[in-house]
Structure 1
Amino acid sequence: MLHLKESISVQLNGHTNGQSNGKPKSARKKYSDGKSELIPVSVGSGTHRKNVQNKTLLLWTTQAILGLSVFYQKQYVLSPKVRAAALSLVFPGAGYIASANILGGVFFLLTFISLPPALFAWFGAGGIFFPILIWALSIPGAYYATGKTVFSYGGIISLGLLVSFITYFNRLSATARTKATEKRNTRNTFITNELTSIDTLSTPAPPDADRELSLEDLRVIQYVFDQASKAHDDWSEFNVIDQFQTSAVRYQLYEMMYCLGMYIGIYTPNFHGYAASAYLNTIEKALTPKVLGFWKWETRWGKFKTDYDPVVEDNIMVTGFFLQALMLYTSVTGDHRYTKPGSLKFRLSDKKGDEFPHSIHTIDKALVRQWEANPYCFFPCEPNWIYTPCNFYGFTGQVVYDRVFGTTHSERLLPAFEESLNANFTEPDGSILPIRSELTGFTIPGLCGALTDLVNAVLCRGYLDHVARRMWAIFRHECVNFTSSGELELTGLVGADKLDPGNYRASDFAIYPHLAYVAGEYGDEKVRKAANKKSDEGFGVKTTESGAKVLDPENASLAMRTSRVRAALLRKEDWKKLIGEGPSKTALAGPILYSVPYPGVLVAKARSHDSKDLELVLYPSAASGIFKLGVSRLVPGQTYNYGAEKSVKADAAGESSVEVAVEGRTHVHLTPA
């Protein structure tokens, strides 16, 4: 087991103790708690987004006019091949209409068969190279396919198709905006009452001093200990499908880190041992080529660059998620190892030159710089595509960074961040868009569903609480119902709401693990327990060799399994408190349980109440027995009592070992004699 005591620096009179210096916390009150939870009428009115869209349409229109002008001009005698090639500027494959022959028809069909996967590669992996390539190839393709004559009405047909395409989507968008505005008005009529009901019926979390995990919940969390402790080349039970979208292994690793951060920060702030070791192992595993190698490809086909540093530009799907994970670890353990220059070595391959040294500070600097520089404030994940969830993860990490290191970046950035969220990334009905193209200003229709509203109720927590609470009120009111027999049922789910994002399989149960942990965060124990029951019954539960309980990996992705772990951890405002406050000063200054045998012992509670004692609740992970526990950060030479007539003396380094008989729920309280 890793011994963390040497790298932990706890300074109770400074910002490294995990406590706020006051400024970021006050900023959260100023920009969140004091704002209305109703949907503003200004949502979706962003001028920058509209300007970018207008520039995109102007460029396309100019290009189409140029192509049509060359096709129909009379001043110069141009060959049919040149005229058809010029018409391809109207849209990909338009020149084949002018060819008006079998070869042109075959090429036209091939162009439109290849466009959907090219556009998907652009959306899914930032590969703007692919649709550009298809369009570019259609120009010489039309030249080659055209014979000695050209179809003179090809230009008119091409123009008609283009105008019809733009008009259709313009009308579709206008109709959607009208309906969304009506929906916003409807939502604003129930949000306040719904939140009142949510607050009234919520179950408060136990006081910090009483936080303790049941054996049932420990068995669920145990699965993360097992997976997070695996070797860097062991990917068993991971979903290895692609490294570009939601099934990517990096997200599976980050989610395990978040679970470990919640476990330590909420229940065991004075236990490091195998929990912190697993956390560190997962951080290091996330820096390996298997996880990061994708970025070389995205840089090539999305940015047309060969500077592959995964931190400096347009990669918040790594830096945002990772900063949150790193800052949770730093906050809940007090271990500042990753603040040292070069302590994080991002390896894209095993080749020389593909390793990029960074630290928490350089990652944070890159995020702050891009939030400041981008006109959207939000900045891209896949090159050229801005995902709001990635930016939410990153901003959460920023809030924790400011609290731990005494900076005020989140306070300074939050007004512009929220303004852009409302103006550029929120629909007129109040739902938050998951994606927008930085280059064109357009989004992908149909991606914004009930699941997006649900997860944003936690993603915005801790800095945009009025937005987070609004999202939960909307989902709770519109989607959650109980039948007369008390059975939980969800309504209004469409599309991606019924998809397991970790394995891309259709699933009626994939939303329930998410619902359970969000309900837990808002103290809705009725929904949390019912959602856990639905996911357990729907996916099935498997008991592993170590005794851990997990959603059946044959049915549920690792993303679903870790979401189920979150649901076992979170109670009312746990995530908000973990982000905004972190562990208490007394916990961070108190004795540390640094060595525990695993398999052997499960730790349900580890907390110092006065920075001098250490209270533990333990369970055997398998057979009962006598286990040796290592405790550090004691007063050198001090005698400590534990159990009936048992005592131990700390050595000169402030360490000691105690032997404890662990059988069933075992309570141990180490106190100065």
Structure 2
Amino acid sequence: MATIPLTSDVPGLSPHRGIRGPVTASRQRRTWAIYAAMVALGLLPTLMGSSPALRAAGLGLIVPGGGFLAVGGWSMLLFALTMVVFVASLVAWFWAGAVIAPAIVWLGSALLAGSMTGETTWAGAPIAAPVAAGLVILAFARNNRKAHAAGLDKAKVRESFLPRAISEVTQQSAPEPDPAAREMDDEQLAGLRYLLDRSLQPVGSFDGFTVIDQFQPAALRYQINHMGFALAIAQTAYLPNFRGYMGLAQRNLIEKYLEKKVWDYWVLESCWGHFNFTDWDPAGKDNIMLTGWFGAHVGGYMLATGDRRYMKPGSLTFRLNGRKAWAHDFGSLNASVDHNYAISKFGIFACEPNWLYPICNHYGMLSLVTHDALTGSKLVDRHMKDWLRAIDDEFTDSSGSIVGLRSQWTGMPVPFPVGEAGYAFFENAFLPVRARQQWAIAREEIAPIVVEEDGGPRMVMPGEGIDAGKYGTGHVGAYGTYLVSAREFGDTRLAAAAKAGLFRDGGVDRSGGGLRFTKGSNISNATAIMGLLMQTGDFRRTFTEGPSKAALAGPMIETLEYPAVLVARAWSDGTNLEATFVQGERAGLRRIAVSQLEPGRRYVLDGAEEAEIVADATGAGAFTVNLAGRVSVTLRAG
């Protein structure tokens, strides 16, 4: 697997920061050339003395609603209304890939103005329309210049602290935990129950999920994937030898993702974004927000459990109705990512039609990482050079940060906040040198919001915050992201600060034995709980290695008694099993099924009601625990 730093072996900000990359520059030149042609075409009827209708329609090409200025009178108010509607159409384009929306508003308003024109036009319109367009362009240019200058100043500050900050990241990092000694505490187990309660419900049920729309950050697909990531981390770190309801929960999430309501947004986006009205294959063109995210989710599950069922053709079938379905599997999801990267001029590819999100492409690269780990392929190596060129040359602003969103067709950037902490833990799975740099910048720049209190450090977020998972306010997602990155890089102080802020401001609810943060959306809760579960390097190990081969070959706990039996630890050296069971409901005797024993072999038990068991001909067995509080059990081959 490739482990390439940002530009060289020496950490530092990209030398290309703030410079338009060749593809971006080409797309922007093309965009301005098209607009210049529209202005020329729009002015032509006026210069040639054409009919009032043509003059009005032409001015409507210069600026949305400009034709209504030519109509004159009260109709001129429609210019302002059109500008408002045009902005709304841009939001629709961004929100759901509806590329036709701005074109309909712009060209439709021009035609409407032409149809409304009488025998004359307002004489000032040929000047007012270009002036209005010019003012808008100048306003954007001014804001861009200010942002560029501010970014250069920020870059100077970053360059001054970066060597020290990177050194601190390395020096302060807590060691990676011993996989043979890990056990969830009560708080982590309560957080895991939040995920299990939602994952173990029937596949078609979405109780406890945030359900608003299926186009942007509140969509079900993102919630499902992040819950799956957290469960895979829990499985790899604490429960590699507990299959039972942990495996069922993860498979349920994967099956939920195949529910039509989760992915059929792509039918609409294909129609109004790609003008494709027949083939709505969700793992075809673009749509890395499905293939990349889901691929990493499925790959993480298979690495964590050793279960390879989703390698089989048709194991991930997206069924629209009785006539249309698209049969996929883990391999074909990654084949789609592979192909889309190969044909992309930018080096990364789109979520919605037109929109390039670097954060989604971090998920895409993570999916390829899991594919390489599972199959021995070299997909990361194949695309890393162009992927890095895209991030470095085409998506780096003047401060050295990643541009959050860019239009593939116009080359224009759009503000979309993610931040270094949001990229860092992903990159640790495939770009560890760059990942440490990302975290070094993040930890330095969040230092002002960390306060020292009697109980230790605490993050104090300003304002009400934004929770994109519910399109509302809240800090749970931000605290969760900082907690995940801090834990990934072994930053115990900032992890403690993020956790303290989360519990102080997140609205803690421990009812029913679970743990949730009432002020956060479902995806924010999933992120926060993932952070609570993690220790140094857990994200990287989960998606690049999974549990040891010895553990996956050892005895497996198969109990499905949830929530009566909670498992806080399940680890094997390949022959013996060590486990910790926790009372989930009432105390009492509980039967624990075990598989992958050596058929006919005797096993000695400590902590169970039985002193020994003998595996049957299939390698299965069972023992009883008197479950009251925590009970540790060891099973040793006799």
Using the size of structure 2 for normalisation, the TM-score is 0.95
Deviation of the 1:370 alpha carbon: 0.4
- Counterpart in the other structure of 1:539: 506
Q: Distance in 1 between matches of 2:112 and 2:372?
A: 56
Of the candidates 465, 471, 475, which is equivalent to residue 498 of structure 1?
465
Task: Kindly provide the amino acid, as one letter, of the partner of residue 655 in structure 1.
Answer: A
Greater CA deviation, 326-335 or 37-46?
37-46
SS in 1 for 2:419: helix
Could you say which residue in structure 2 is the equivalent of 1:586? 550
Aligned with residue 51 of structure 2, among 73, 79, 93 = 79
Instruction: Say which SS state the counterpart of residue 606 (structure 2) adopts.
Output: coil
In the aligned structure 2, how far is the partner of 1:288 from the partner of 1:80?
Answer: 54
1:558 aligns with 2:522: yes
Letter in 2 for 1:80: P
- Decide which moves more: 51-60 or 452-461: 452-461
Q: Distance in 2 between matches of 1:484 and 1:613?
A: 45
Question: Post-superposition shift, 1:535?
Answer: 1.6
Note if contact 2:16-2:396 (Cα within 8 Å) is conserved in structure 1.
no
Q: Which runs of 5+ in 2 are unaligned?
A: none
Q: Following superposition of structure 1 onto structure 2, how do residues 465-480 of structure 1 map, counting pairs within 5 Å?
A: 465-480=432-447
**Aligned partners of 1:295 and 1:478: how far apart in 2?**
38
Distance in 1, matches of 2:575 and 2:475, equals 50
Amino acid at match of 2:345: P
Residue aligned with 2:590, SS: strand
Counterpart AA for 1:40: S
1:579 maps to a residue whose letter is: F
Distance between the aligned counterparts of 2:482 and 2:259, measured in 1? Answer: 32
Deviation, 1:31, is: 4.8
Number of the residue aligned with 2:368: 398
Q: Which residue in the other structure is 1:512 paired with?
A: 479
Whether the 8 Å contact between 2:452 and 2:458 is mirrored in structure 1 is: no
Does residue 383 in structure 1 map to residue 353 in structure 2?
A: yes
What does residue 50 of structure 1 align with? Answer: 25
Return the letter of the residue paired with 2:344: N
Specify which of 293, 318, 338 is matched with residue 368 of structure 1.
338
Q: Is the 8 A contact 1:191 1:473 kept in 2?
A: yes
Distance 1:165 1:216 in 2: 53
Structure 1 residues 339-393: Cα deviation after superposition (integer angstroms, max 9, x where no partner): 1111111134xx3333211111111111100001000111000111011111111
CA contact (8 A) 1:68 1:87 kept: yes
8 A contact 2:347–2:389 mirrored in 1:
no
**Partner of 2:383 in structure 1?**
413
The question of 1:317 aligning with 2:289 is answered: yes
After TM superposition, give the deviation of residue 55 of structure 1 in Å: 0.5
Query: What per-residue deviation string (whole Å, max 9, x for no partner) do you get for residues 435-468 of structure 1?
Result: 11101101113x33xx522211112221122232
SS in 1 for 2:346: coil
In the alignment, which residue of structure 1 is the partner of 2:180?
A: 209
Residue 101, structure 1, aligned to residue 73, structure 2: yes
Following TM superposition, by how much is the alpha carbon of 1:606 offset from its aligned partner in structure 2, in angstroms?
1.0
Change over 3 Å in CA distance of 1:179–1:113 after alignment to 2: closer
Residue number in structure 2 paired with 1:230: 201
Question: Superposition pairs for residues 273-292 of structure 1, below 5 Å?
Answer: 273-292=244-263
Q: Distance in 2 between matches of 1:208 and 1:433?
A: 37
Match of 1:21 in 2: none
Question: Which amino acid counterpart does residue 122 of structure 1 have in structure 2?
Answer: W
Match of 1:144 in 2: 115
Letter in structure 2 aligned against 1:649: V
Distance apart, 1:624 and its partner CA: 2.4
1:441 and 2:411 matched: yes
Q: Work out whether 1:522 is the aligned partner of 2:489.
A: yes
Amino acid at match of 1:539: G
CA contact (8 A) 1:204 1:572 kept: yes
* Match in the other structure for 1:329: 301
Q: CA deviation at 1:329?
A: 0.8
SS in 2 for 1:468: helix
CA distance in 1, matches of 2:8, 2:630: 44
Q: Distance in 1 between matches of 2:375 and 2:421?
A: 31
- The DSSP-based 3-state class of the residue aligned with 1:353 is coil
| Alignment match of 1:548 (pick from 487, 501, 514) | 514
Structure 2 counterpart of 1:90 = 62
CA distance in 2, matches of 1:298, 1:97: 34
| Superposition map of 1:106-145 within 5 A | 106-145=77-116
Q: CA offset at residue 603 of structure 1? A: 1.1
Q: Is contact 1:107-1:141 (8 Å) kept?
A: no
> Which residue number in structure 1 is paired with residue 591 of structure 2?
628
The residue that corresponds to 1:643 in the other structure is 606
C-alpha contact 2:366 2:430 (8 A) present in aligned 1: yes
- 1:59 shift after superposition: 0.5
Which residue of 1 is the match for residue 629 of structure 2? 664
The answer to whether the 8 A contact 1:510-1:535 is kept is no
**Would you say 1:619 and 2:582 are equivalent positions?**
yes
Amino acid in the other structure paired with 2:572: S
Q: What CA distance in whole angstroms lies between the structure 2 residues aligned with 1:37 and 1:90? A: 47
Alignment of 1:171-186 (within 5 A): 171-186=142-157
CA distance in 2 between counterparts of 1:489 and 1:570 reads 19
Distance in 2, matches of 1:123 and 1:360, equals 29
* Cα distance in 2 between the residues matched to 1:509 and 1:599: 26
C-alpha distance in 2, partners of 1:600/1:96?
69
Of 37, 40, 47, the match for 2:11:
37
Counterpart CA distance in 2 for 1:81 and 1:56 is 27
CA contact (8 A) 1:501 1:559 kept: no
Distance 1:508 1:570, change over 3 A: closer
- Tell me which amino acid in the other structure corresponds to 1:339: M
Separation in 1, partners of 2:70, 2:469: 45
Letter of the 2:497 partner, please give it.
Answer: A
**Please, what is the CA RMSD of the aligned residues?**
1.9
* Structure 1: distance between partners of 2:133 and 2:187: 60
Q: 2:459 touches 2:497 (CA, 8 Å); kept in 1?
A: no
Structure-to-structure mapping, 1:444-463, within 5 angstroms: 444-445=414-415, 447-448=416-417, 451-463=418-430
Q: Distance in 2 between matches of 1:353 and 1:399?
A: 34
Matched pairs, number: 631
Superposed, 1:4-19 pairs within 5 Å as none
